[in-house]
Amino acid sequence: MTFEHDFKQAGHYVGIVTVTDDLGNAWVSRFPFTVGLYTVMGMIEYILYAVGFAALCGFLWYLLGQRAQKTPAPAATASSN
């Protein structure tokens, strides 16, 4: 089953889904959601992903820099002729 609704205005809404089986048992699910509103709390997941990615890049950059400092430069060989 598919249900579609065109929300004309941005705002806070509540969805209610009721399911009934063949024996007459009913289950109700209620879930709040927003349409067309952008808040920091709504974007927190994306903000945390960006912060985590930046931290990972910085950590890898640090490790690669430390590794480059530990690698000795090849010694110059003196040849006598």
User: How many domains are contained in the chain?
Assistant: 1
Q: Is residue 33 part of a domain?
A: yes
pLDDT digits (tens, 9 = 90+) for 8-26: 999 999 999 999 999 999 9
Domain containing 46 equals 11-70
Q: Is residue 64 part of a domain?
A: yes
Q: Is the CB of residue 10 less than 8 Å from the CB of residue 28?
A: no
Q: Is residue 60 part of a domain?
A: yes
Task: Establish how many alpha carbons lie within 13 A of residue 3's alpha carbon, considering only the half-sphere containing its beta carbon.
Answer: 4
Q: Is residue 78 part of a domain?
A: no
Q: Is residue 80 part of a domain?
A: no
pLDDT digits (tens, 9 = 90+) for 29-69: 999 998 988 877 778 889 999 999 999 999 999 999 888 88
Global pTM reads 0.45
The pair of structure tokens assigned to 75 is 């010694």
Q: Which residue has the higher pLDDT, 75 or 34?
A: 34
Q: Is residue 43 part of a domain?
A: yes
Q: Is residue 17 part of a domain?
A: yes
Predicted confidence (pLDDT) at residue 4 exceeds the cutoff of 60: yes
Q: Is residue 66 part of a domain?
A: yes
